[in-house]
Structure 1
Amino acid sequence: MSNTETAPTELTCTTTTASSTVEILTPRDVPLGGPRAMQVRRTLPQRRRSFIGAWCFADHYGPDDVSESGGMDVAPHPHTGLQTVSWIFTGEIEHRDSGGVHEFVRPGEINLMTGGHGICHSETSTANTRVLHGVQLWVALPDHARNAPRNFQHFAPDVIEVDDAKVQVFLGSLAGSVSPVETFTPLLGAEINLPAGGTISFDINAEFEHGILVDAGSATVEDTTIGYAELGYFTPGRTTLTIAGAADQPSRLILLGGTPFNEEIIMWWNFVGRTHEEIIEFREAWENETDRFGAVEGYKGKVHRLPAPVLPNAQLKPRRNPS
């Protein structure tokens, strides 16, 4: 999914150390697009935290009835220096990219697109979609891989049962389930579904920091409850994690993890770079329709491609987390 904000905030992201056992990150509402924009709840990045592992962007949206609004129609737009991860609960999205990939995003199936040196893609909800509901995640590529070639991976993980929960591991490994999807830093991504009053306990990588995003119900860890749409952050060092869901309703959670990402990045619009000058270069390449991003074939939307927003007048500088 594109960040279709018309005045995107420039971010240089750095790591920081949490001061509490469980750090609760609350979302902010962000409209994507024009007057009939789809609202998303954004928990990463924010002033308090920019990364969980290499996860650098998390939008949580829906359930939205799109039968009246016309659904999702995001024209071709560019990406650099990142991987996009699409995971939805309800609905269906058609994906086309400049690598020649034509694929669909469906519930329980991960679509991971690598836009290192440059890629562009379009996203439209299908005609039979009435409700859209899911998460859109970005992964920052480390310096050695940030010019990686275009790539796309699609995978439908099996549902496994762990204690009271049903789990799908779409990235990394957890509870004996391993995803074949390749990433450039160690990562974990999983959907966890708990019945009312259910609990789950499992081993985790002590070198990872972790986050739990609550889509429904709640998640209680170490006497701290993570509420609806909140993201709970956990520092490295744990070897096990025990989660209790809400007592009165089912809980659906997205578990994220990864080794701490110790590089600074500048994230502006749909670009991830390292310097102000790089962002200017990326924008000019997109506006001039160079070969860096290629072209999407088969998209039949209202506009040919999304124009890049105007750069701010000031030099793009670090926006750091509080210590």
Structure 2
Amino acid sequence: MSNLDTQPTLTTCGGRADVPGAPVHELLKSREVPLSESHMVRRLLPSLGRRMIGAWCFVDHYGPDDIADAPGMQVPPHPHLGLQTVSWLREGSVLHRDSLGSLATVRPGELGLMTSGRAISHSEESPREHARLLHGAQLWVALPDAHRGVDPHFEHHTELPVVAGGGLTATVIMGTLDGSTSPGTTYSPLVGADLTLAPDTDVRPPLEPDFEYAVMSMSGEAEVDGVPLAPGGLLYLGCGRTSLSIRSTNGADLMLLGGEPFAEEIVMWWNFVARTGEEVTAARTAWANGSDFGTVNGYDGPRMDAPALPSVPLRARGRVR
């Protein structure tokens, strides 16, 4: 998925200096941004107060939206560099096309994982015949320096491991949770899991004390480590936890995100994750010139134009504002 802001802000993040070494509670607010002319998403990461959670560097939550009489998601071909995109659906479906020739329809409970590596382009759209509701999340994972030049590839995993017990059903999207590991390729220690809580659930899933964590509410209300979390909210939890208290009276759907704090400082602008402003400028020029990122065939419409670069220098700094 693309960052469709026509004037995307420079985001500088990474490094461990600002990662709290102890548990914390930071409730991060979302902001609405357009995904298409008729479709809005709630952007939770990067935020003004927190830039990354492990290697997770971008989180959009959308829906549930009634698209019965609408085209739904329509994201034209656009480029990516230095990151992985993670597509996760609760309702609806998304048709993925990319410059490698990949064609896949991602449905609820399935992992659509695209590793851009050195360069790729793709499009995402609701199929012409689609369900009434669309609800999901789109996330990015920053690739560490040793792997950000990897050959681009796409993975579609229709079966993922599930950990269940005590009213909790956890689908492991990325990484490992409670001994169960997703088949999705990872390049740094991290975890992403979909948590379904039945009514009157009170559980304590195990965590890695060296990871930093956050929990996002997709629907329903829950209490996470004693903090109420409503739909569309993201609670950053810091490090130093071996387990996490999660409660829900009426049931809820959450996402658990975590990972080893990302040691490298990065520059993130538009759809690129780089290390220097010069790399971002070169990537934008390559996309504008029609080189490096390949061609997405089959999408009915023009590709996306690159926005103008900001007037300020593009430099890597810390992971918080």
TM-score, normalised by the number of residues in structure 2: 0.93
**Which residue of the partner structure matches residue 172 of structure 1?**
175
Deviates more, 1:160-169 or 1:86-95: 160-169
**Which residue of the partner structure matches residue 91 of structure 2?**
90
**1:135-150 equivalences in 2 (<5 Å):** 135-150=137-152
TM superposition shift of 1:45? 0.4
CA distance in 2, matches of 1:322, 1:310: 24
Which amino acid is the alignment partner of residue 139 of structure 2? L
**Which residue of the partner structure matches residue 114 of structure 2?**
113
- Percentage identity across aligned positions? 46
Which amino acid is the alignment partner of residue 171 of structure 1? M
CA RMSD of aligned residues (A): 1.7
Equivalent position SS for 1:143 = coil
Within the alignment, does 1:190 sit opposite 2:188 as a pair? no
Which amino acid is the alignment partner of residue 271 of structure 1? F
Which amino acid is the alignment partner of residue 312 of structure 2? A
Deviates more, 1:75-84 or 1:271-280: 271-280
**Which residue of the partner structure matches residue 103 of structure 1?**
104
Maintained 8 Å contact 2:225/2:244: no
TM superposition shift of 1:135? 0.2
**Which residue of the partner structure matches residue 302 of structure 1?**
301
TM superposition shift of 1:158? 4.0
Equivalent position SS for 2:57 = strand
Maintained 8 Å contact 1:77/1:306: yes
Equivalent position SS for 1:172 = strand
Deviates more, 1:280-289 or 1:312-321: 312-321
CA distance in 2, matches of 1:314, 1:240: 42
**1:1-323 equivalences in 2 (<5 Å):** 1-15=1-15, 16-18=18-20, 21-34=24-37, 36=38, 38-126=39-127, 127-155=129-157, 156-245=159-248, 247=249, 249-290=250-291, 292-299=292-299, 301-303=300-302, 305-318=303-316, 320=318
Which amino acid is the alignment partner of residue 54 of structure 2? G
Deviates more, 1:101-110 or 1:210-219: 210-219
Structure 1 alignment gaps of length 5 or more: none
Equivalenced residues, count? 316
TM-score, normalised by the number of residues in structure 1: 0.93
CA distance in 2, matches of 1:218, 1:287: 44
CA deviations over 1:106-141 (Å, ceiling 9, x no partner): 000011100010000011101223221100000001
CA deviations over 1:233-266 (Å, ceiling 9, x no partner): 1222111122112x2x220000111100021111
CA distance in 1, matches of 2:142, 2:161: 26
CA distance in 1, matches of 2:310, 2:24: 37
CA deviations over 1:248-299 (Å, ceiling 9, x no partner): x220000111100021111111111111111110001001111x21111222
Structure 2 alignment gaps of length 5 or more: none
Which amino acid is the alignment partner of residue 8 of structure 1? P
Instruction: Assess, with a 3 A threshold, how the Cα gap between structure 1 residues 322 and 158 changes in structure 2: closer, same or farther.
Output: closer
CA distance in 2, matches of 1:235, 1:45: 16
Q: Which runs of 4+ in 1 moved over 4 A?
A: 318-323
